[in-house]
């Protein structure tokens, strides 16, 4: 075999042996059973091939060393060696700086490796350190470390310590942790004297625990019953049309949620911070309607969700408050779910705190138009509209009976408003206390009306931005504007689970074996072409 070819092949072996060693040292990989044999094999084969090339070409080397070309080659070769050494030093410096200064980029389509807006706002507003004790065995700590690192990167007040529960049983007892919960790992969060535990390793579960720790005041939300509203309790609440998930979503915001049979109470309780009317289909007793009016007059907060053709008698009351609820059904043949025109997407969000930051659509199902009356346009704002291709079909009987709809002069052309919100001055001013006190302003009621209740049911709440739209509406009604945000959703990114052995094999194939095989093939092809040109 030609001595020159042997030399080049030996140089390739030495180069990849050196690169393998440097990569192992600077990347933090632990040496596996076949790491060192691979590196030493490259060094030995490279030195043997270079030695064979030198021995077989001694006479030619002596002649070149005596010539002037050898001095020039030595000069340029020295420069090349120094440049290579400088490159290695720069790479080592960059590797060192990367351990001191951390920068993250998330290029996934859904932001799977980034914290959501709710989490970042929550972490940014921490006034005290949150101490997190992660009880995980070392072999199972990697997923927890990956998630908790994002929280630590977002806030210096988020302190994390990993503990092997088998190595420190005393700490388990000190924190009052039930040992039966430690099987798959557990997070214990402490803020001052308050403590909570998180067993589910997701951003949603961890952020909900932070909300409960940081939001000390628990406000109360009542859901009306007695008019066939969507249930939040009992067996029906867990079905597709129930509101169990909506109740849980509010509980995760540290709100207290209860049902309210207004006909039995006669008045909305004094501790009611907000009242929700979720899809009534039966008339209200006059005393109930009067109770709702008195509640708003004293500065209450009300969320009304009413479906098309619902047999309720709240329309006159909503009209008194400046809300026009259309006797129609929104149809969208272009932007409907899977081509269903009565399940429209709505992604046009006029400026309002409830929808601030929302970019993805909200999904509704059999919705009606809701808009402010002209005289109430200053007090009420539209929250969301459907697309320009949609319209509000007013021949509801024909639509439900024949399944046919066509835009005509009687219909409301899109974009169709589906929800409104605003502050209303309904009550008289409270008397000012003290002789020098200025005249008090009347309490302003807060009102949100949505022309659909299906969007917040168990079947649709987790779809798109439905959860955010519902919970943000309640946040705004309660005055918790700082809590309005885009919340963690269900992860849509999939991951490939690899065993350490398979990972090591893939790493060797991609970083060492294939590149070196390509380099050897390249040398062989180059050498063959060179010899063909000489001939």
3-state secondary structure 185-211: CEEEEEECCEEEEECCCCHHHHHHHHH
For the cut 80, the answer to whether the pLDDT of residue 234 exceeds it is yes
Instruction: Tell me what pLDDT residue 432 has.
Output: 52
Region 117-205: CATH code: 3.40.30.10
Chain centroid to CA 102:
21
| Contact call for residues 402 and 365 (beta carbons, < 8 A) | no
pLDDT in tens, 49-64: 777 777 776 666 566 6
pLDDT in tens, 411-420: 899 899 999 9
For the cut 90, the answer to whether the pLDDT of residue 456 exceeds it is yes
Please compute the mean of the pLDDT values over residues 230-238 and round it to a whole number: 92
Please compute the mean of the pLDDT values over residues 319-323 and round it to a whole number: 93
Instruction: Tell me what pLDDT residue 43 has.
Output: 80
Average per-residue pLDDT for the chain: 81
Please compute the mean of the pLDDT values over residues 448-474 and round it to a whole number: 93
pLDDT in tens, 412-443: 998 999 999 999 987 655 555 554 445 556 67
For the cut 90, the answer to whether the pLDDT of residue 214 exceeds it is no
Distance CA 506, CA 431 (A): 77
Q: Where are the domains of the chain?
A: 117-205, 215-427+441-483
Buried b (16+ CB within 10 A) or exposed e, 134-165: bbbeeeebeebeebbebbbebbebbebeebeb
Distance CA 398, CA 402 (A): 5
pLDDT in tens, 160-204: 999 888 888 888 888 888 877 887 888 888 888 888 888 888 888
Identify the CA nearest to 413 among candidates 332, 309, 308, 324.
Answer: 332
For the cut 80, the answer to whether the pLDDT of residue 3 exceeds it is no
| Contact call for residues 330 and 459 (beta carbons, < 8 A) | no
DSSP 382: E
Instruction: Tell me what pLDDT residue 109 has.
Output: 47
Instruction: Tell me what pLDDT residue 2 has.
Output: 63
Q: Is the pTM of this model over 0.85?
A: no
- Out of 3.50.50.60, 3.40.50.1370, 3.20.10.10, 3.40.50.880, which CATH number does the structure's domain 215-427+441-483 have? 3.40.50.880
Please list the alpha-helical segments (H only) found in 277-427: 286-297, 315-320, 396-402
């Amino acid at each position: 075999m030609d001595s020159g070819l042997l030399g080049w092949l030996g140089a390739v072996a030495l180069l990849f042996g050196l690169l393998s060693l440097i990569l192992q040292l600077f990347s933090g990989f632990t040496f596996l059973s076949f790491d060192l044999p691979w590196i030493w094999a490259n060094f030995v084969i490279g030195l043997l091939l270079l030695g064979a090339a030198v021995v077989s070409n001694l006479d030619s080397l002596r002649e070149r060393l005596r010539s002037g070309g050898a001095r020039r080659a030595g000069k340029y070769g020295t420069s090349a060696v120094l440049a290579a050494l400088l490159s290695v030093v720069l790479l080592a410096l960059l590797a060192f700086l990367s351990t001191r200064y951390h920068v993250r980029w998330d290029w996934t389509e859904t932001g799977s490796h980034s914290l959501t807006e709710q989490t970042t706002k929550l972490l940014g507003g921490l006034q005290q350190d949150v101490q997190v004790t992660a009880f995980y065995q070392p072999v199972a700590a990697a997923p927890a470390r990956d998630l908790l690192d994002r929280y630590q990167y977002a806030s210096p007040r988020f302190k994390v310590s990993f503990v092997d529960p088998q190595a420190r049983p005393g700490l388990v007892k000190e924190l009052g942790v039930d040992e039966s919960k430690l099987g798959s790992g557990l997070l214990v969060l402490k803020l001052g004297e308050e403590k909570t535990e998180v067993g589910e390793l997701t951003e949603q579960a961890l952020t909900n625990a932070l909300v409960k720790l940081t939001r000390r005041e628990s406000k109360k939300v009542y859901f009306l019953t007695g008019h066939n509203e969507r249930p939040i309790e009992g067996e029906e609440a867990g079905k597709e049309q129930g509101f169990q998930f909506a109740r849980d979503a509010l509980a995760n915001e540290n709100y207290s949620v209860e049902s309210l049979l207004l006909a039995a109470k006669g008045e909305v309780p004094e501790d009611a911070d907000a009242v929700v009317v979720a899809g009534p289909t039966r008339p209200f007793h006059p005393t109930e309607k009067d109770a709702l009016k008195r509640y708003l007059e004293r500065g209450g907060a009300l969320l009304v969700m009413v479906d098309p053709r619902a047999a309720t008698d709240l329309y006159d009351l909503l009209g008194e408050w400046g809300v026009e609820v259309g006797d129609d059904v929104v149809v969208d043949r272009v932007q409907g779910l899977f081509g269903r025109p009565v399940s429209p997407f709505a992604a046009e969000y006029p400026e309002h705190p409830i929808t601030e930051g929302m970019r993805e659509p909200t999904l509704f199902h059999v919705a009606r138009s809701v808009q402010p009356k002209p005289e109430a346009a200053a007090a009420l704002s539209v929250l969301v509209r459907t697309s320009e291709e949609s319209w509000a079909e007013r021949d509801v009987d024909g639509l439900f009976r024949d399944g046919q709809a066509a835009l005509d002069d009687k219909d409301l052309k899109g974009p169709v408003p589906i929800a409104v919100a605003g502050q209303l001055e309904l009550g008289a001013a409270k008397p000012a206390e003290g002789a020098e006190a200025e005249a008090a302003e009347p309490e302003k009621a807060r009102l949100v009306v949505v022309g659909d209740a299906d969007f917040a049911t168990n079947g649709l709440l987790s779809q798109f931005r439905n959860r955010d739209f519902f919970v943000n509406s309640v946040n705004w009604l309660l005055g918790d504007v700082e809590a309005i945000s885009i919340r963690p959703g269900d992860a849509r990114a999939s991951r490939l689970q690899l065993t350490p052995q398979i990972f090591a094999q893939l790493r060797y194939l991609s970083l060492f074996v294939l590149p070196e095989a390509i380099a050897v093939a390249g040398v062989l092809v180059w050498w063959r072409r060179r010899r063909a040109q000489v001939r």
